[in-house]
Amino acid sequence: MNDNKSNKQLLHLVFGGELESLKGVTFRDLDDLDVVGIFPDFASARTAWKAKAQSTVDNAHMRYFIVHLHKLLDPEND
The confidence band for 64, taking pLDDT boundaries of 50, 70 and 90, is very high
* Per-residue pLDDT at 78 exceeds 50: yes
Using one digit for the tens of pLDDT, what is the confidence trace for 7-18? 678 999 999 999
Q: What Rg value do the Cα atoms of the chain yield, rounded?
A: 15
How much of the chain, in percent, has pLDDT values that exceed 90? 79
Which three-class secondary structure state does DSSP give residue 32?
helix
Separation between Cα atoms, residue 52 and residue 64, nearest integer Å: 7
pLDDT on residue 8: 76
Between CA 12 and CA 62, with CA 22 as vertex, the angle to 5 degrees is 50
Complete domains list, the chain, with CATH = 10-77 (3.30.70.2400)
pTM: 0.84
* Per-residue pLDDT at 4 exceeds 90: no
Beta carbons of 69 and 39 less than 8 angstroms apart: no
Alpha helices by DSSP H, 1-78: 4-7, 42-55, 69-73
